Chain A
């Protein structure tokens, strides 16, 4: 047991991931979007035709790489373990609302850090909301919140999502007529498949090795005063910031930031929702993808919740845009906060008989 070595490993991994994130933007990804699990799962939903927002339809190889990279390394290290059965339906709905919150802010926690590193001050507001959401989640954790334990599952169950990702890769490369590709807009901005896939594989493996998780970082600080996981994201911020400064991608301010809006209240509330939901799930979207790659079927269900949530956000006008949040999106965020607090209450204070 060597926490110091763990901190060094996660700092190095975070540094590499920050560099990769900047490289992906230079290779064609949208600005401040080297990685964004919410945006990329949303684009993938569009690529599959689950929503018809023409600007954001592209099966993103980064997500495929994340899951497969985590799977390959976990298998090599003997850590691939099919597990599941911890309130899968509840997790689906929590993940659904995490996506609603993330698409209000226009980014997952990972992109929030990349937006900060690009000088987008709206992300500072998002970060405050994110920490408030995590603190609320930790309150429930400290009072007994649990979605119950997982159980050993079959190999088929553990391999399901990685196989789905392989199928998505085949669909992306073969490009049959029923797969959608954005002609103009953020979905049209992407690095070549080989670079995106390679980046995803590396980041997936690094995140599996170090257990990198933005939510876990703040949760561990609040619960144990342990900064290890947060060090990884600090390093992502630092190297991405240096990269952005070197390549002229740093633009400090609130206005005219790429794929962002300036409505602070809804940036804040969107990330409160995402932070609370991710704490209730036990990890941020990046961590969910990595755990799905390790064979965790509950995380695979969370992926499905994020995917369906993204489709809903664009089919029903819930997602914000550079112009700001929509009325439907504001209502959805409020509903999401109410639903998540109800779920948290019921799984904390509604099971007193089990607590003796």
Chain B
């Protein structure tokens, strides 16, 4: 089963780099505008999918450049925050 996520970023460049990394990992991912109900920012988000491997949280997050604003999982019609680094 595929789990569906949206990641938002502090810059378009961060989103583009994350998207490239996900595609390189062989994951289905695409760039899109940030959904309004996630943020008032009009920047770029990455919509991506991760194979559910039976773990409670299959997402492994690496953010060496500190560019990720947050990552949410789409659960039904709502979002579950998976990653929101403190500043």
A interface residues (Cβ-Cβ under 8 A, vs B): 1-3, 6, 9, 74, 77, 79, 86, 141-142, 144-152, 208, 210-211, 213, 216, 220, 223-224, 226, 228-229, 282-283, 287, 294, 354-355
CB of B16 within 8 A of CB of A149, answer no
Nearest-Cβ distance from residue A36 to partner chain B, whole angstroms:
21
A-B contacts besides A146-B13, A213-B42, 19 pairs, CB < 8 Å? A1-B37, A2-B37, A6-B36, A9-B36, A144-B13, A144-B16, A145-B13, A147-B11, A149-B10, A149-B14, A149-B66, A149-B67, A150-B10, A208-B40, A211-B36, A224-B33, A229-B42, A282-B12, A294-B40
Known A224-B32, A224-B33; judge A79-B40 contact (CB<8 A).
yes
Q: How far is the CA of A355 from the CA of B33 in the complex (A)?
A: 22
Contact residues in B for A282 (Cβ distance below 8 Å): 12, 42-43
**Interface 1/0 per residue, B19-55 and A, CB below 8 Å:** 0000000000001110111101111100000000000
Nearest-Cβ distance from residue A346 to partner chain B, whole angstroms:
14
CB of B87 within 8 A of CB of A146, answer no
Asked whether B17 is an interface residue with its Cβ less than 8 Å from the other chain, the reply is: yes
Asked whether B6 is an interface residue with its Cβ less than 8 Å from the other chain, the reply is: yes
B interface residues (Cβ-Cβ under 8 A, vs A): 6, 9-14, 16-17, 31-33, 35-38, 40-44, 65-67, 74, 77, 79, 87
CB of A1 within 8 A of CB of B6, answer yes
Contact residues in A for B35 (Cβ distance below 8 Å): 1, 3, 6
Please tell me which one of the listed residues B11, B42, B66, B79 contacts residue A146 in the complex, with CB atoms under 8 A apart: B11
Contact residues in B for A283 (Cβ distance below 8 Å): 42
Nearest-Cβ distance from residue B30 to partner chain A, whole angstroms:
8
CB of A223 within 8 A of CB of B66, answer no
Q: How far is the CA of A207 from the CA of B64 in the complex (A)?
A: 34
Please tell me which one of the listed residues B42, B65, B67 contacts residue A216 in the complex, with CB atoms under 8 A apart: B42
Q: How far is the CA of A69 from the CA of B16 in the complex (A)?
A: 32
Known A1-B74, A228-B33; judge A149-B42 contact (CB<8 A).
no
Nearest-Cβ distance from residue A231 to partner chain B, whole angstroms:
13
CB of B11 within 8 A of CB of A149, answer yes
Which of A1, A142, A147, A148 gathers the greatest number of chain B CB atoms within 10 Å?
A1
Q: How far is the CA of A2 from the CA of B38 in the complex (A)?
A: 11
Contact residues in A for B41 (Cβ distance below 8 Å): 211
Please tell me which one of the listed residues A74, A141, A144, A216 contacts residue B40 in the complex, with CB atoms under 8 A apart: A74
Return the chain A residue nearest B10 by Cβ: A149
CB of A152 within 8 A of CB of B33, answer no
CB of B12 within 8 A of CB of A146, answer yes
Nearest-Cβ distance from residue B58 to partner chain A, whole angstroms:
20
Nearest-Cβ distance from residue B21 to partner chain A, whole angstroms:
11
CB of A151 within 8 A of CB of B36, answer no
Q: How far is the CA of A29 from the CA of B42 in the complex (A)?
A: 30
Return the chain A residue nearest B67 by Cβ: A149
Return the chain A residue nearest B74 by Cβ: A1
Nearest-Cβ distance from residue A75 to partner chain B, whole angstroms:
12
Please tell me which one of the listed residues A79, A148, A216, A220 contacts residue B11 in the complex, with CB atoms under 8 A apart: A148
CB of B17 within 8 A of CB of A355, answer yes
Contact residues in A for B13 (Cβ distance below 8 Å): 141, 144-146
Contact residues in B for A146 (Cβ distance below 8 Å): 11-14
Q: How far is the CA of A171 from the CA of B38 in the complex (A)?
A: 38
Q: How far is the CA of A234 from the CA of B35 in the complex (A)?
A: 20
Nearest-Cβ distance from residue A87 to partner chain B, whole angstroms:
11
Contact residues in B for A226 (Cβ distance below 8 Å): 32-33
Known A1-B35, A145-B13, A224-B31; judge A151-B87 contact (CB<8 A).
yes
